[in-house]
Amino acid sequence: MIKSLKSKLKAHELVLGGWVMIGHSTIIEIMAKAGFDWICIDLEHTAITYEQVENMIRAADVAGVPVLARLTSNDKDQIKRVMDNGGTGIIVPMIKTAAEARAAVQAMQYPPLGHRGVSLHRGTDFGARFDEYQDWLIKKAICIVQIEHIDAVNNCEEIFAVEGVDGYFMGLYDLSASMGLIGQLDHPDVITAMDKVYKTGKAMNKPGGFHVVEADPMRLKEAVNKGFTFIAYSMDTRIIDVACRLGIATIK
């Protein structure tokens, strides 16, 4: 039996994700065929449209790879549209409280677990698999919260205790900014805050995500060796940039 991404997260199996900033289904196809276990479409910092999202999710479906969307905010309408288009789940930025985490889960789920409006769009195969989709939504849809503010660090135990939160991602740049230490990722106070989240997550058996931003295989190995299992490896734009500069540097 093929395990769902949700089951793998719960079992702390190593799952490597591709991060997509370019709004084209070809990028999804390339990453899926390269062997990524899951793919994230970044809506927070890009110009990707809903039409592009639909086609990108369709490409991931053809390849059999789960696809998450990192949202622009904890927006119930955006959550609904991503899930209606067939998304496997969501990554919600700037969650600071348990109430905000609960709102994200409820926006993803149908009643009685949530308050998302019922859809007969792609997620349900346009209504043909509506009953199956309801069961899938409860058992396999994924909600990941981003811990990227000092308030979230202080509230992380309550956030992780929310039913339906499947894991978290640290956002270190925004965390450092919220502490008045923008970009100082190695500052002792930032490291202390990060360690608090990791220790709390481990104690509560909540999978913690780690983003290896640079396209550097050695940094990826370091993350794996440190015990991280829910890892995003770089992003399409950085991978292209690094490959281009490396090639040019060998000639000039």
At residue 126, the pLDDT reads 94
149 assigned to active site: no
101 to 33, 51, 155, 156: CA distances (angstroms)? 33, 27, 11, 10
pLDDT (tens digit, 9 = 90+) per residue, 126-179? 999 999 999 999 999 999 999 999 999 999 999 999 999 999 999 989 999 999
pTM of the model as a whole: 0.95
pLDDT (tens digit, 9 = 90+) per residue, 193-240? 999 999 999 999 999 998 999 999 999 999 899 888 999 999 999 999
Q: Which domains does the chain have, with CATH numbers?
A: 5-249 (3.20.20.60)
At residue 102, the pLDDT reads 98
At residue 104, the pLDDT reads 98
Q: Contacts by 6-11 with C-beta closer than 8 Å and gap 24+?
A: 6/89, 6/139, 6/140, 6/141, 6/142, 6/166, 7/140, 8/37, 9/142, 9/166, 9/167, 9/207, 9/230, 10/166, 10/207
Which one from 45, 115, 149, 187 is the annotated catalytic residue? 45
